[in-house]
Amino acid sequence: MSSNPNESAGPVTMMQAPLYLQYRFTAGTSSLSFLHAIKRGRLIGRRCPGCESVYIPCRGSCARCGVATCDNIELTDEGVIDKFTVVHIPIPNNPIKPPFVVAHIRLNGADNAFHHLIGEVDNDKVKLGMKVKAVWRPESEWDYGLDNIRYFKPLGGEHD
Amino acid sequence: MANHAAVIGVGQVKYQTQRDDVSIAGLVREAAQNALDDAQLEWSDIDAVVIGKAPDMFEGHMMPELYLADALCATNKPILRVHTAGSVGGSTAIVAASHVQSGVFERVLTVAYEKQSESNAMWALSSKQPFATHLNAGAGGFFAPLIREYIQRSNAPAEVGMQVAVKDRLHALRNPLAHLHMPDIDLATVEASPMLWEPLRFLESCPSSDGACAMIIGSERAAAASPKKPAWIRGTAMRSEPTNFAGREQVNPQAGIDCAKDVYRQAGIQNPRKDLDTAEIYVPFSWYEPMWLENLGFCDIGEGWKLTLEGATSLPEGGDIPWNCSGGVLSTNPIGASGMIRFAEAAQQVRGLAGDYQVEGTQLALGHAYGGGAQFFSMWVVGAEKQ
Ligand SMILES: [Zn+2]
C-alpha cells in the first residue's frame, strides 16, 4: 500500500501519478460580455426572448426555451439566498476553512441562481430568503471571474 | 413493437473500500465472469458488450472501454461505452436491453464499475471551472441545499434522514456483498457521526467503494434456454434536463416525474406503491428516500417522510414497499456501478434469488438511478412474468 520505498512494509501496490491539465477556454460572445463587465466590477445578465428570464452569469441560450438569449441587462450586486448549506467537511487543499456557508444566490432581477459564499454572519443565523449584498475584493485584484466577489453578506437588519 | 428481453445472469463482487488484489480490468472481469456463471454461459455465447462508468476524471482513465475490451473478451464483438453521470449504471443496462429488444443481438453482457480507491471523486466533482467561484464542497455541497429546501417545504422532522441511514444499513447486514456491515447501527450512532454538509451527517452519506456489477441480458429464446429464472424487462425509461435554467424545480425534478410515468405506463403500473412489490432506488444521501418517494409517485408531495417514519420502506419492519433491501447506495457505492446494482438487485428480487433480503413473492420490482445535478434519470421495471 505504501508508496514510500523506505518504509519497506511490503510490496508497493499503488503509486500516485498526478495529471495536470491546462485548458484554453473560448468563452463565446455571451459569457464575454459578463466577463468584461465583472472585470470592471459590474454585473451583466442576459435575457431570454422566449420566457423573459434573465440569466447571470450570462448564458448564450436559455435551457428552458432552447433559444439564444439576446439583451444584456445590468444587475445590482444585491439579491436573496435561494438555498444554502453549511459545509463542515474538511477537504484537502481547500483554502476555505470549514464550517462555511455555500448558498445559491439569486440577484435581484435575475431568474437563476449561482453558488457563492456567505460572510459577516454566524452560520446558524443564515436563512432561506435572506437579503444579501456582495462584498467585493479590492479593485486591484479584479480579474475575469465571480471570485472578484469575496462573499455575500446580509443586508442590514436581517441577521439579528 | 420491441422484442422481449430478460436478465438471465447477474454477477457482482464483494464491495469494499479497496480491492488492491485486482486491477480495474480484473474487477470488471470478475463481475462479468460471475454473471456468465450465473447464466451458465461461456464468453463465446456473448454477442456484444455494453460498458458504463462515471466520469473519466474519477480514475483519470480516458476511454477505459478500449483498454477493458480484452478483459471482457470483446475482440471482434461490438463494445459500446455509456456515460450519464451517476445514473450511468442504469442507462448502461437500458442500452444493453435495447440491443436485445431490437432483435439484433441474442445475449449481451453489460457491466459497470468504479474503483474509488484509485480515484478522487471529490476532486473530480469540485474541479475549478473557469470564472466560477471555487467552493470545493463536493457532491454533498451540491445536494444538501436541495435537501434543506425539501425539509423546509415538507416540515419533515430531523430524524427522518437518520432513520433512512439506519434502515439501509440494517438491510445491508442481510447482504454478504454489501460494503458496509455495521451490526450496531442505531439512531444514536448516526446522530453522533460528524456533520458534513448540514443537514447531512457522515453516516447519512454513501461510502466510497470499489466494485463492479454485470448482467447478461438475453432474448426470449435465450431466456427459455436459461437454467435459472429470468427477470423479464417490462419497461425502460430515461429522461434528462439541464442543470440550470430559470424556474427549474430542483427538489422534485420534472425529468424524474416524467421518467417514472413512462416506465409505469410500459409496465401497466397504475399505483406504484400498490403494484410494485419492492424497489431499488438511488439514495446516496439519506434524505433522498423521502424525496424520491414523492418524485416517483409512491405518495403525495410532502408525504414521503411519513412513509419512511412509518417503516413502509423497511424489510424487517414488514413495510408494504421495502426499498433498498440490498442495503442501497448508502451501504455500497462504486459510483459508476451503483445504478446497475439497483437494476440488478431489482432483477434478483423477481428471480427469487435475493437470499436473506428477498421480499417474498415479488412479481414486479423497480430499479432506479439518477445522476448529475439530479438531472439524469434511468429506470426499469422487471417482472417475474413476461407480461
Ligand atoms: Zn427562455
Share of chain A above pLDDT 70, in %: 92
Burial zone of A129 (CB within 10 Å; 0-12 exposed, 13-18 middle, 19+ buried) = exposed
Residues of B in contact with A1 (CB under 8 A): 20
CB contact under 8 A, B149 and A128: yes
Predicted structure pTM score: 0.94
> In this structure, what C-alpha cell is assigned to residue B186?
442505531
**Residues B89-110, mean pLDDT to the nearest whole number:** 98
Residues B243, B227 contacting (CB under 8 angstroms) = no
**Residues B121-150, mean pLDDT to the nearest whole number:** 81
Alpha helices in A58-105 (DSSP H): none
* pLDDT in the model for residue A16: 82
Residue of B34, B72, B37 whose CA lies nearest to B51: B72
Q: For residue A112, what is the nearest residue in chain B, using CA coordinates?
A: B246
CA-to-CA distance for B272 and B264, rounded, in angstroms?
8
CB contact under 8 A, B245 and A147: no
Topology of domain B5-120+208-224 in CATH is Peroxisomal Thiolase; Chain A, domain 1 (3.40.47)
Residues of B in contact with A63 (CB under 8 A): 242, 244-245
Residues A44, A58 contacting (CB under 8 angstroms) = yes
> In this structure, what C-alpha cell is assigned to residue A76?
445590482
Residues of A engaging B, defined by a Cβ cutoff of 8 Å: 1, 13-14, 17, 19, 23, 25, 27, 31, 34-35, 48, 51, 53-55, 57, 62-64, 83-89, 91, 94, 96, 102-104, 111-112, 114-117, 128, 144-147, 149
**Residues A86-111, mean pLDDT to the nearest whole number:** 89
CA-to-CA distance for B367 and B378, rounded, in angstroms?
8
Q: Is the pLDDT of residue B337 over 70?
A: yes
Residues B150, B293 contacting (CB under 8 angstroms) = no
CA-to-CA distance for B83 and B57, rounded, in angstroms?
12
- Testing the interface with A: which of B19, B56, B118, B131 to mutate, by most A Cβ within 10 A? B131
Q: Is the pLDDT of residue B67 over 50?
A: yes
* pLDDT in the model for residue A8: 63
**Ramachandran area for residue B305 (φ above 0: left; ψ -120 to 50: alpha; else beta):** alpha
CB contact under 8 A, B131 and A89: no
Q: What is the pLDDT of residues B174-213, one digit of tens each?
A: 999 999 999 999 999 999 999 999 999 999 999 999 999 9
Please give the sequence-ordered ranges of beta strands (E in DSSP) within chain B, or none if there are none: 5-12, 48-53, 79-82, 107-115, 195-197, 200-201, 210-219, 231-240, 278-280, 364-371, 376-383
Mean pLDDT over the full length of chain B:
95
Ligand 1 centroid from CA B243, angstroms: 14
Residue of B302, B345, B344, B301 whose CA lies nearest to B322: B345
Residue of A30, A33, A27, A32 whose CA lies nearest to A69: A30
DSSP string of A125-156, one letter each residue: G--TT-EEEEEEPPGGG--SSGGGEEEEEEPT
* pLDDT in the model for residue B351: 98
Topology of domain A77-160 in CATH is OB fold (Dihydrolipoamide Acetyltransferase, E2P) (2.40.50)
**Residues A106-114, mean pLDDT to the nearest whole number:** 96
Kindly report which listed range (B4-18, B113-127, B285-299) carries the lowest average pLDDT score. Answer: B113-127
Residues B179, B332 contacting (CB under 8 angstroms) = yes
What is the residue extent of each domain of chain A?
24-75, 77-160
Residues of B engaging A, defined by a Cβ cutoff of 8 Å: 20, 60, 117-118, 122, 126, 130-138, 140-141, 144-149, 152, 194-198, 242, 244-248, 250
Q: Give every CB contact of residue B140 below 8 A, 6+ residues apart in sequence.
A: A85, A87, A89, B196, B197, B200, B205, B285
What is the residue extent of each domain of chain B?
5-120+208-224
> In this structure, what C-alpha cell is assigned to residue B370?
439518477
**Residues A84-108, mean pLDDT to the nearest whole number:** 89
* Helix-then-strand count for chain A, H and E: 1, 10
**Residues A69-84, mean pLDDT to the nearest whole number:** 96
CA distances from B10 to B110, B204, B349, B353, B386 (A): 10, 28, 12, 10, 18
Ligand 1 centroid from CA A47, angstroms: 8
How close B292 gets to chain A, by Cα (Å)?
19
Residue of B173, B172, B170 whose CA lies nearest to B187: B170
CA-to-CA distance for A92 and B301, rounded, in angstroms?
39
**Residues B106-128, mean pLDDT to the nearest whole number:** 88
Q: How confident is the model at residue A15 (pLDDT cuts 50, 70, 90)?
A: confident
Q: Is the pLDDT of residue A9 over 80?
A: no
CA-to-CA distance for B381 and B371, rounded, in angstroms?
19
Q: What is the pLDDT of residues A17-49, one digit of tens each?
A: 877 778 788 888 888 999 999 999 999 999 999
